[in-house]
Amino acid sequence: MTSTGLTPVHLGRTGLRVSPLCLGTMNFGPQTSEADSHAILDAAAEAGVGFVDTANVYGWRKGEGWTETILGSWFAQGGGRREGTVLATKLYGSMGDTPNETGLSALAIRRQCDASLRRMQTDYIDLYQMHHIDRSTPWEELWEAFDVLKQAGKILYVGSSNFPGWALAQGNERAAARGSVGLVSEQSYYNLLQRTVELEVVPACEAYGIGLIPWSPLEQGLLGGVLRKAREGRSADPAQVEKLERHRPAVEAYEAFCDELGEDPANVGLAWLLHQPAVTAPIIGPRTLEQLQGALRATEIELDEAALARLDEIFPGPGGPAPEAYAW
């Protein structure tokens, strides 16, 4: 398959180049049919979004790996689909009822990697990510397990998700001590409303050359024009309504500012992330082709200093990195 449009960026300090948007697949299966998922994957590839993220637990039918299986059937169609994709998946969550089918023990890492490879019908994973920190497994065990997978050619890079800044530093120091590359990416909950990672995680990513991959960049739709959609008669789910009421003044100001810019709120939210330090690619999770096409606009939006300052006024962050954010 051929791709056009987006300019690739490096994933953190690595030589690996990825698209500046990452296609999240969490909706594939439960909310988006296999056929529609394949259509979105094809459209994304044609638009230059070749960075695809999934997880063994996606599909949310325990042990089945539904979403990974959908990706596998797409890769099996050939046409350069696998070769044109930087494939990222994750492990940690429970994939069965026995003790070693969850977490990050060496046994779990080996078993879950092999299972993901089978489901996705590929012989290697470009970026293998720990979905959550496992405080019960020492770094020595983690790095040995990942290094074995690298030596076998089953994975190329290792990343993390939902790790605190101290764990990013600790993990990469332990990796350096054994001559391993260490963590090259971190997936964090990060958007205009959720900026806690600016205290510790973002500085750690900058210091260690870790590419930051924000998930939930639109705060589950709250930054995607929720008030505009309500005026058009589109309803929101109860959880979103409750969250909107807590943040209504900021969301109202945000949507008004987006109107001044002449841009869709969802695209401004993504563009803001692309202007932040250490960010490689926000994860977009389109359920439809229309949502995918809209997200592509974000890479073209340039926010000047005045616009960034206004967004900081509407959604104040923690005040910068620690400790200056809370101490002299």
Q: Would residue 58 show up in a list of annotated catalytic residues for this protein?
A: yes
Name the β-bridge partners of 28: 32
DSSP H or E segment with residue 258: helix 238-261
22 contacts: CB under 8 Å, gap ≥ 6: 49, 51, 52, 53, 88, 213, 280, 281, 282, 283, 284
The torsion angle over the Cα atoms of residues 16, 66, 239 and 279, rounded to 10 degrees, is 0
156 contacts: CB under 8 Å, gap ≥ 6: 16, 124, 125, 126, 127, 150
326 and 319 in contact (C-beta within 8 Å)? yes
Of the residues 58, 128, 157, 254, only one is catalytic, namely 58
Cα 84 to Cα 19: distance, rounded to the nearest angstrom:
11
User: What's the gap between Cα 317 and its chain centre?
Assistant: 20
Cα 251 to Cα 227: distance, rounded to the nearest angstrom:
8
| Pairing of β 9-10 and β 17-18 | antiparallel
Cα 78 to Cα 83: distance, rounded to the nearest angstrom:
9
Q: In the chain, what's the furthest Cα-to-Cα distance?
A: 58
Cα 137 to Cα 141: distance, rounded to the nearest angstrom:
7
Give one DSSP letter per residue of 199-255, joined into a string: TTHHHHHHHHTPEEEEESTTTTTTTS-HHHHHHTT----HHHHHHHHHHHHHHHHHH
Cis ω for the linkage preceding 164 (within 30 of 0): no
Tokens 């999934």 found at: 54
Which residues are known to be catalytic?
58
